[in-house]
């Protein structure tokens, strides 16, 4: 009784089949949506969460190289704005001696007072720096107003505050053994935490 000498490997066959099948992308489609008040996320502070319209108002196609370039330009602009705000805060702190002495000059400073020459953009690698930054409440509200949102629902602020408070308390107050009559977890229908 003899075995075949060169039995083809199942693994080799599947690798050979896979070698010819690759996904290659030639372009990127970017959809643009109008901003709306969100009601779907919980910002870490304040009210008026950001959201987007249910349908896009514009779509653009880019080649991969065009999209990479646009993204790099956008990230560099965000970095420049971030560094400008940081420089403005630092100047205000200097003029007010870390906020201890009121200064009319510090109060009058704006982002326009910080020139591009004051920024060390070349020292920061854009790819390493860029990530989504949380926006303060005032900036979120300004973005919404600039996008045409006329009335910002004030009730959302209270709802978001209540959600943040409820997330701070996790579990129950049971020690060693669970007391189902007083256990918040048991009453919520989950295992005692």
Q: Domain-by-domain residue ranges, the chain?
A: 27-166
CB 92 within 8 A of CB 111: no
- The mean pLDDT value of the chain amounts to 80
State the residue for tokens 């860029």: 130
In this prediction, residues 144-157 reach a mean pLDDT of 88
Return the H-helix or E-strand segment holding 184.
Answer: helix 184-187
Structure tokens, 112: 């326009």
The pLDDT-based confidence of 30 (bands split at 50, 70, 90) is very high
Question: Looking at residues 171-186, what average pLDDT do you find?
Answer: 84
pLDDT at site 169: 73
Distance of CA 158 to the CA centre of its chain: 22
Predicted TM-score of the model (pTM) = 0.57
| CB-based contact 164:184 (threshold 8 Å) | no
- Report the 10 Å Cβ neighbour count for 144: 21
Of 3 and 180, the one with more pLDDT: 180
Binned at pLDDT 50, 70 and 90, residue 4 comes out as low
CA separation for the pair 149, 147 (Å, rounded): 6
* 168: enclosing H helix or E strand: helix 155-168
Task: State residue 32's pLDDT score.
Answer: 94
Segment among 2-16, 30-44, 63-77 with least mean pLDDT: 2-16
pLDDT level of residue 29 (50, 70, 90 thresholds) = very high
What pLDDT score was predicted for residue 10? 61
Contacts of 39 (CB under 8 A, 6+ apart): 49, 51, 153, 156
- The H or E element that residue 141 is part of is helix 137-146
List, for residues 51-94, the tens digit of each pLDDT value: 889 999 999 999 999 999 998 888 888 888 878 888 888 888 88
Q: Which helix (H) or strand (E) holds 30?
A: strand 27-32
Predicted pLDDT at 47: 80
Question: So what's the pLDDT on residue 31?
Answer: 96
pLDDT tier, 20 (very low <50, low <70, confident <90, very high otherwise): low
| pLDDT tens digits, 87-142 | 888 888 888 777 677 778 877 888 788 777 777 666 666 665 656 677 888 888 99
């Amino acid at each position: 009784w003899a075995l075949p000498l060169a039995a083809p490997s199942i693994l080799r066959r599947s690798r050979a089949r896979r070698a010819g099948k690759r996904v290659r992308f030639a372009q990127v489609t970017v959809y643009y949506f109008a901003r709306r008040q969100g009601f779907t996320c919980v910002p870490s502070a304040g009210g008026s969460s950001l959201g987007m319209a249910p349908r896009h108002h514009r779509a653009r196609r880019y080649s991969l190289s065009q999209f990479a370039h646009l993204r790099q330009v956008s990230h560099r602009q965000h970095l420049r704005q971030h560094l400008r705000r940081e420089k403005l805060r630092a100047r205000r702190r200097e003029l007010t001696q870390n906020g201890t002495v009121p200064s009319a000059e510090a109060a009058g400073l704006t982002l326009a007072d910080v020139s591009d020459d004051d920024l060390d953009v070349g020292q920061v690698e854009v790819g390493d720096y860029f990530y989504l930054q949380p926006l303060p409440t005032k900036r979120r509200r300004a973005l919404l107003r600039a996008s045409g949102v006329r009335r910002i629902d004030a009730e959302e602020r209270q709802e978001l505050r209540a959600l943040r408070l409820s997330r701070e308390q996790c579990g129950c107050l049971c020690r060693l053994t669970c007391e189902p009559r007083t256990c918040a977890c048991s009453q919520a229908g989950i295992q005692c935490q």
